[in-house]
Amino acid sequence: SLLMKRKLFLYNFKNLRWAKGRRETYLCYVVKRRDSATSCSLDFGYLRNQMGCHVEVLFLRYIAAWDLDPGRCYRITWFTSWSPCYDCAQHVANFLRSYPNLTLRIFTARLYFCEDRKAEPEGLRRLHKAGAQIAIMTFKDFFYCWNTFVENREQAFKGWEGLHENSVHLTRKLRRILLPLYEVDDLRDAFKTLGL
């Protein structure tokens, strides 16, 4: 099926602060081609990690096989259950540099951090610097995914308790990660001056 089961979506995309047991990453995608002022949808669907291969790399292999026309502009939108790990962020950043006619927007339900907490934020910064737009999913994004990628049997999307608060918390965390380093240093200096 092109559509995800409701329970699968709700379990994997729930934006909990501590999402124990959720080890797989799901990626819902939309690929569009831009023709002047209009855009044309080319494909949509979802993927998940496969044995030994993260979902971001699977998608890159999939889209690279399309033999994209370098004279046309493409927009790819991802909705992911976890943000990319450091290695995947590197792969995606390199891919974006190879395809300047392609833009990527990533909306993620949760931020992924491995044992080495310094690696993933650096990967996200490099990915952002390569041109990817990265944001945390909000109610509107979960609603869109529910109506686009989920076999919902026409049931309306109902947010869970804490959805908004967790989105706000994660958005602030992502904003701090993506701040240019000189701004972080300026903030540290300002706090030192204030004695904080």
Where in the sequence numbering do the catalytic residues fall?
56
User: How far is the C-alpha of 169 from the C-alpha of 59, rounded, in Å?
Assistant: 28
Query: Distance (Å, rounded) from C-alpha 101 to C-alpha 154?
Result: 36
Query: Beta strand pairing status for 26-35 and 38-48?
Result: antiparallel
**Structure tokens that stand for 63 in this block:** 């889209």
Nearest to 136 by CA among 173, 162, 101, 161: 173
What is d(CA 52, CA 99) in angstroms, rounded to the nearest whole number? 25
Which positions ≥6 away from 183 have C-beta within 8 Å?
none
Report how far residue 161's alpha carbon sits from residue 177's, in angstroms, rounded to the nearest whole number: 26
